[in-house]
């Protein structure tokens, strides 16, 4: 083990713009994990990194030190090369993981997906899954540690992956404890928006999962973490480079986040829409993103000759029922009673809605005038739903899974004055202010909109960047 370096000298070094040695970075992360570093010292180092940045080698060392700050997962050798995951920087109506994880498993991948909860205006995969009665996103400690060295074995997850091929779980307290501390302090020290800190935070968790391949959905636009394609590209390049150095085959898609993905926003409504996608139907933009992200992963882990062939293979899994059957098996393995899982996957839309529960109030908003839909802005929709209880202001707050909205129109559609364009599901009061904000989300014009820019703007690979989705084994 490296001799500890006094933290004030490390902070001074980074404050003055010098490069930190790998051993110094490990020493800092050890102080964070073991609790010997004071909160003020950690905050000061985070601010120094935020202001001075880090070279790629420093970011890699930080990622590695954080990844080994806790437990790392271990898998049977036969699965090596097949372990895949997807990470999204967060969007509105983004239910991709719910369809993608089982579809990838149906194609032969092993998907130990570790997801997060929603915070702010973006939703979280775990909250969506918890709209399903009985679904368990966590594993009890007995299940994690039973009969195996706690640092590596994860029998419950491994058991599910062996039987089903995928699981979607929350991050356990033992996985990357350094990130828990650093992320909490970044939130209160105005250091969330630091490229090396975001890169290390995201990738340390993926490195601890011992993945073979990773695809990142880096969103940009009004409702995304990054407003512009250029800023999203910078993060994507950092993630792809550091991920590749970690030995994970990493690629990123830059995707637009101006409008909600699909037609449904809100946890229970998004589960319903994910089920449609798993049946080979549902909104085209959702299917497009699921198959584009999955296609890259199938190519990266050698199950398809190129990204396009991967996309076609994934689409087949959605169309032939195998992805839906895998989703049903995953629900069963994660605590959903078999009858409920079957009724949800095989039921009619009305039966599904009844199973997930419906909000007390359903209100339709009329178009204020005639016109062609140019855009439905995601941000105001997400903000109003958040205020109605669909999202949380603080970690740990409850969410109401029944609150949400259905878009009744799509871009390019013509609306008559008074025609309903949005159905809001809630259990409170929408109020004049909320109504005004929602009406501001609807952009109408006198003519049909010109060419729509593609949802996938760019693909970032270790070898460089391609416009649009990755079209073959380039
Ligand atoms: N998600 C993460 O896991 N880490 C981060 O720093 C951000 C999002 I921003």
Q: Give just the sign of the alpha carbon dihedral 200, 203, 209, 212.
A: negative
Q: Are 257 and 93 in contact (CB under 8 A)?
A: no
* Cα 130 to chain centroid, rounded: 15
Q: What is the mean pLDDT of residues 395-419?
A: 94
For 272-322, what is each residue's pLDDT tens digit?
A: 999 999 999 999 999 999 999 999 999 999 999 999 999 999 999 999 999
Residue 249 bears catalytic tag: no
Beta carbon of 139 within 6 Å of any ligand 1 atom: no
Q: Which of 54, 175, 185, 198 has most ligand 1 atoms within 8 Å of CB, for mutation?
A: 198
- Residue nearest (by alpha carbon) to ligand 1 atom 2: 202
Instruction: For residue 86, report the distance from its CA to the centre of ligand 1, in Å.
Output: 13
Domain spans of the chain?
A: 7-53, 77-345+456-460, 359-445
pTM comes to 0.94
The confidence score (pLDDT) of residue 172 equals 85
For 227-268, what is each residue's pLDDT tens digit?
A: 999 999 999 999 999 999 999 999 999 999 999 999 999 999
Mention every residue, 6+ apart, whose C-beta is less than 8 A from residue 474: 306, 461, 466
d(CA 107, CA 109) in angstroms, rounded, equals 6
For 159-197, what is each residue's pLDDT tens digit?
A: 999 999 999 998 888 889 999 999 989 989 999 999 999
Beta carbon of 63 within 6 Å of any ligand 1 atom: no
- Residue nearest (by alpha carbon) to ligand 1 atom 1: 202
Beta carbon of 122 within 6 Å of any ligand 1 atom: no
Q: What is the mean pLDDT of residues 331-350?
A: 96
Residue 205 bears catalytic tag: yes
Percent of the residues in the chain that have a pLDDT greater than 70, as a whole number: 95
Q: Are 144 and 156 in contact (CB under 8 A)?
A: yes
Mention every residue, 6+ apart, whose C-beta is less than 8 A from residue 428: 388, 389
- Residue nearest (by alpha carbon) to ligand 1 atom 7: 198
d(CA 464, CA 52) in angstroms, rounded, equals 26
Beta carbon of 379 within 6 Å of any ligand 1 atom: no
The confidence score (pLDDT) of residue 286 equals 98
The CATH class, in words, for 359-445 is: alpha beta
For 424-466, what is each residue's pLDDT tens digit?
A: 999 999 999 999 999 999 999 999 999 889 999 999 999 877 7
For 103-122, what is each residue's pLDDT tens digit?
A: 999 999 999 999 888 767 77
Q: How many other C-beta atoms lie within 10 A of the C-beta of residue 172? A: 18
Has domain 7-53 been given CATH number 1.20.970.10?
Answer: yes
Retrieve residue 322's tokens: 């195998």
Residue 12 bears catalytic tag: no
For residue 260, report the phi and psi dihedrals to the nearest 5 degrees.
-60, 150
Retrieve residue 121's tokens: 């205006």
- Residue nearest (by alpha carbon) to ligand 1 atom 3: 202
CATH dotted code for 77-345+456-460: 3.40.1030.10
The confidence score (pLDDT) of residue 391 equals 87
Distances, alpha carbon 467 to alpha carbons 2, 65, 69, 235, 366, in Å: 45, 34, 37, 17, 38
Q: What is the mean pLDDT of residues 27-56?
A: 97
Residue 186 bears catalytic tag: yes
Beta carbon of 257 within 6 Å of any ligand 1 atom: no
The confidence score (pLDDT) of residue 1 equals 65
For 63-108, what is each residue's pLDDT tens digit?
A: 999 999 999 999 999 999 999 999 999 999 999 999 999 999 999 9
Instruction: For residue 17, report the distance from its CA to the centre of ligand 1, in Å.
Output: 24
């Amino acid at each position: 083990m490296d001799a500890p370096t006094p933290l004030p000298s490390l902070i001074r070094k980074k404050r003055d713009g010098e490069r930190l040695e790998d051993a110094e970075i490990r020493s800092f992360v050890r102080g964070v994990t073991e609790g010997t570093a004071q909160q003020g010292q950690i905050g000061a180092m985070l601010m120094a990194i935020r202001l001075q940045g880090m070279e790629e080698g420093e970011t890699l060392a930080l990622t590695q030190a954080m990844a080994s700050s806790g437990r790392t997962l271990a898998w049977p050798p036969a699965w090596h090369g097949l372990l895949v995951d997807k990470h999204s920087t967060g969007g509105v109506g983004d239910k991709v993981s719910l369809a993608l994880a089982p579809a990838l498993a149906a194609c032969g991948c092993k998907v130990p997906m570790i997801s997060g909860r929603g915070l702010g205006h973006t939703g979280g995969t775990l909250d969506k899954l918890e709209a399903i009665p009985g679904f368990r996103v966590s594993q009890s400690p007995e299940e994690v540690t039973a009969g195996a060295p706690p640092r590596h074995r994860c029998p419950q997850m491994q058991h599910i992956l062996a039987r089903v091929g995928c699981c979607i779980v929350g991050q356990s307290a033992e996985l990357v404890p350094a990130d828990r501390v650093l992320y909490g302090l970044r939130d209160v020290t105005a250091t969330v928006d630091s490229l090396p800190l975001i890169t290390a935070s995201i990738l340390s968790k993926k490195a601890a999962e011992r993945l073979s391949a990773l695809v990142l959905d880096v969103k940009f636009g009004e409702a995304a973490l990054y407003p512009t394609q250029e800023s999203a590209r910078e993060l994507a390049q950092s993630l792809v480079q550091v991920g590749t150095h970690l030995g994970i085959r990493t690629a990123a898609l830059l995707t637009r986040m101006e409008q909600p993905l699909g037609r449904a926003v809100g946890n229970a409504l998004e589960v319903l829409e994910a089920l449609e996608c798993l049946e080979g139907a549902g909104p085209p933009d959702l299917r497009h993103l699921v198959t584009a992200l999955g296609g890259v992963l199938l190519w990266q882990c050698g199950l398809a000759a190129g990204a396009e062939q991967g996309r076609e293979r994934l689409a087949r899994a959605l169309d032939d029922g195998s992805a839906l059957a895998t989703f049903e098996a995953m629900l069963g393995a994660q605590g959903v009673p078999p009858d409920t899982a079957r009724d949800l996957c095989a039921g009619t839309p009305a039966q599904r809605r009844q199973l997930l529960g419906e909000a007390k109030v359903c209100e339709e908003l009329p178009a204020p005038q005639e016109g062609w839909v140019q855009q439905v802005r995601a941000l105001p929709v997400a903000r109003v739903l958040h205020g109605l209880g669909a999202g949380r202001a603080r970690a740990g707050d409850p969410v109401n899974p029944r609150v949400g909205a259905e878009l009744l129109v799509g871009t390019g559609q013509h609306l008559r004055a008074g025609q309903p364009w949005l159905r809001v599901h809630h259990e409170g009061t929408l109020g004049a202010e909320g109504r005004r904000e929602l009406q501001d989300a609807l952009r109408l014009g006198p003519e049909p909109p010109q060419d729509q820019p593609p949802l996938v703007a760019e693909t970032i690979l270790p070898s460089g960047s391609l416009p649009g989705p990755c079209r073959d084994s380039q």
